[in-house]
């Protein structure tokens, strides 16, 4: 399963909903790749007060971290300041070409 999130969690509930769905899928023991592109990288902001559904985002992010699910972050989307991912969630940079390579391997897609 591929969950691709591009919505900005500072202005939309959709980014939170995508993360919630990813967590539900993982809980069912289905392998999931969670890819954050563009402004969706703000799902990993240290301060969730400025995010729509910030409290839920913090909870879902903590659960995904506990399960060892990394976020695959589009190269160049993450801020250079290392404090943006202050909780140390596993993050791996991924290029557009690598994102494209995930598509044929996935059986299902959730795109927000």
Share of the chain above pLDDT 90, in %: 55
Averaged pLDDT for residues 72-95: 78
Residue 85 pLDDT > 70, yes or no? Answer: no
Q: What is the dihedral of CA 44, 58, 53, 102, to 10 degrees?
A: 50
- The mean pLDDT value of the chain amounts to 88
Domains of the chain: 2-111 (3.40.1260.10)
Judge if pTM exceeds 0.85.
yes
pLDDT in tens, 49-79: 889 998 899 999 999 999 889 999 998 887 7
| Residue 73 parent element (H or E) | strand 71-74
Q: How far apart are CA 14 and CA 30, in angstroms?
A: 22
Q: How far apart are CA 28 and CA 13, in angstroms?
A: 23
Averaged pLDDT for residues 82-87: 62
Indicate the pLDDT class of residue 2, thresholds 50, 70 and 90.
very high
């Amino acid at each position: 399963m591929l969950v691709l999130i591009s919505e900005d969690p500072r202005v939309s509930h959709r980014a939170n909903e995508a993360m919630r769905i990813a967590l539900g899928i993982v809980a069912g023991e289905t392998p999931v790749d969670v890819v954050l592109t563009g402004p969706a990288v703000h799902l990993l902001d240290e301060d969730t007060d400025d995010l729509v559904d910030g409290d839920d985002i913090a909870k879902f992010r903590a659960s995904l971290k506990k399960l060892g699910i990394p976020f695959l972050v589009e190269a160049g989307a993450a801020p250079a300041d290392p404090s943006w991912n202050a909780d140390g969630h596993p993050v791996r940079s991924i290029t557009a070409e690598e994102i494209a390579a995930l598509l044929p391997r996935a059986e299902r897609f959730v795109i927000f």
